[in-house]
Structure 1
Amino acid sequence: MTIGELAEKAGVTPRMLRYYEQQGLLTPRRGSNSYRLYEDAAVELVVQIRELIESGLPSRLLRTVLPWLGHQDCNTQVTCDALSREEFAALREHIRSIDRRIEVLSRNRTAIREYLRLMSADTHGDGRHSGQT
């Protein structure tokens, strides 16, 4: 598929795909016309890259761990050996940061669900809630 097709399917811009390529995160093959061409599996990869970058993982660390993500059969020792102490520490801190965000999001989800449950129980027959005018 072309860069435009991948961008549309993955929900990113072609410019973002070129950035991922520049950072060594994505490697398209080239057609006879030198256009970038991508396999269908690139959609899932681009979504994973985008989500990890949005989570705050720097592209330099993403480049290091990306080959190992989503592969249950990878050798963890090889992954750990490939990391510097600084990268290892940064990845551990990133996991802690993700865990904190998950906790906050879970609390907010629970609070919003409870609010909706209360509002649903308090709905008048005309669809209005208490406190609405």
Structure 2
Amino acid sequence: MKIGEASRVSGVSARSLRHYEDEGLIVPGRFGNGFRDYCQSTLDRVLVIRSLLESGLPVRLIREVLPGLADGSDAGADVACTEFLHEVQSYRDRLALRIAVLSDQQAALDAYLQAARRTDL
């Protein structure tokens, strides 16, 4: 199917589909006239990509691990899955640290605002 239909079916904008292709996350087929041709397996992959991106994972990590998760072979799937889960855990830990820092900054600003309001009264 062409990009417009693929966009409607997947719920992902045509622009995002082109971006996923530019990033090497998907490789749609091509019609003789050069138009992109999206098959169901590519659309299934797009939904996985969208889900991973919405969870906050960077494109770099998705690009590195997606081939190993989607190639269908059991030989490297366990290793790829283990590495992927390790990377996701590491990303989550870094995110938790950033949240803690931001929470501390928010608490400091709250304390400042509370003290400033007391002096204004």
The two structures have a TM-score, normalised by structure 1, of 0.58
Query: Which shifted more, 40-49 or 66-75?
Result: 66-75
CA shift, 1:29, in A, is 1.5
The residue correspondences of 1:94-105 to structure 2 (distance < 5 A) are 94=91
Match of 2:74 in 1: 73
Q: Aligned residue pairs: how many?
A: 93
CA shift, 1:96, in A, is 5.7
- 1:91 paired with 2:88, answer yes
Query: Runs ≥4 in structure 1, deviation > 6 angstroms?
Result: none
Structure 2 counterpart SS, 1:32: coil
Match of 2:20 in 1: 20
The two structures have a TM-score, normalised by structure 2, of 0.64
For the aligned residue pairs, the C-alpha RMSD in angstroms reads 3.0
CA 12–88 in structure 1, closer or farther in 2 if over 3 Å, else same: closer
Which structure's residues are more often helix, by fraction? 2
Identical columns (%): 39
Q: What amino acid maps onto 2:28 in structure 1?
A: P
What residue ranges of structure 1 are gaps of 5+ in the alignment? 101-133
Aligned residues of 2:53 and 2:59 also touching (Cα < 8 A): yes
Match of 1:46 in 2: 46
